[in-house]
Chains A and B, each alone.
Chain A
Amino acid sequence: MARGLLVVWWVSALVFLALRLTPGNPALLLLGPEARRPGVAHQLVLLERQLGLGRPIPVQYWLWLKPLLEGKFGNSDLSGRPVVSLIGGAAPPTLWLIGLSVLLSVPIAIGLGVVAARFRSSVLDRGVRFVSTLGLAVPPFWLGLLLLLGLAVDAAVLPANGYVSPLTNFGGFITHMVMPVTTLTLYLVAVLTRFVYSEVTESLAADYVRTARAMGLSEMKVVFWNAARNALIPMVSILAASLGPLVGGAVLVEQVFGLGGLGELLLNSVVDRDYAVVQGIVIFLTIGIIVLQGLADVLYRRLDPRVR
């Protein structure tokens, strides 16, 4: 609980400082170039008072934090629509992209990692390791662009961009999601395979695996039941820890494929200097990640008796 409060305070302070410690007047920044015009001068004064710019930093921080704690994320400076509804509208493609990638990459990573660990220092092992290191080194959006070039532009097998809701047209949803999900899955598989490999290699060398082999259990059973099962529990924490990079990757990937999710909303808001939306998205995603990581921690404790 104490840790939760510390986390929330730190995150909010970081966001506040990032938005307020700007060189120059934040109110000027919020109003944009228009602020210099004579007719807008009173708006500037109004905004400065509203933000409490003349007051000490802690007071400004509190003035900024209070509405957020009450769940008031404010309205978009540009369109005037509530930030919460903007985020709600843009979230589905991003969440689908992340969710589907996680669902796909977990079994693939387990398969690859276990096989590579079982046949250690064979060609198979080396291949898996090489591809997985490569997967971490490739910028995801570049991979996406290459896929796009190969499958959508030249061959025209798949639609190049856009998003279709699964509720309106499921087939369209699938065809539109294939390439983005593949791109993000490749990245996640690389992260997870590395991890599965190291865990399974370690547990294959453990005494209980030798015992299981000595008892005459079949190799399949030893590898998957005895060795892999124990090694895979920490996967929960690894998945939780990769959520940050995953969200970052999703923002880039959806930009490549024009999915129009949170990433696009975020970038457009940055360009339009729509700070209420920028701040809302960053807080929404970060709090989401922190909550999921907390849940993963709890789950991990329940799954693994050694941690209890």
Chain B
Amino acid sequence: MINMLQLIKNFFTGLGNIFRKPRTVVYPREKIIIPEKSRGMLHLKLDLDSLDVLCNGCGTCVSICPEGAIKIKKKTLEEGKQVLDRFRLDLGRCIFCGKCVEACELEAIGLSYRYQNADNHRKDLVMEKADLIRPSGTIRGFWK
């Protein structure tokens, strides 16, 4: 009636498990390396020669965002070139879907690996252009 062989196997499985390393990760002290295609906070890519943002403020990402989290203000320089003046992302509304990245024709924005974005007040969640250009956001091993 009671399957003795299975009980003995269970007993030794349990006994063996004590000497193995546990499979849980104690989060704030140890972290795991997050996977490659993870979607974190937005980041603005920089042109490598002039160290200026690639974005020219066309506004495609504003119209495609389902939540309306991006707000852009652009200005025109003397030569007639259009550059970005202000880029504001409301993290409280962003759902990290990545449609803005797909829609951008210049490939000027991307989703970085920054996932520890919690804060105490809602107004601190509004990110301006300077907050979005952190270089550490794209290094996978940094967010460990």
A interacts with B: no
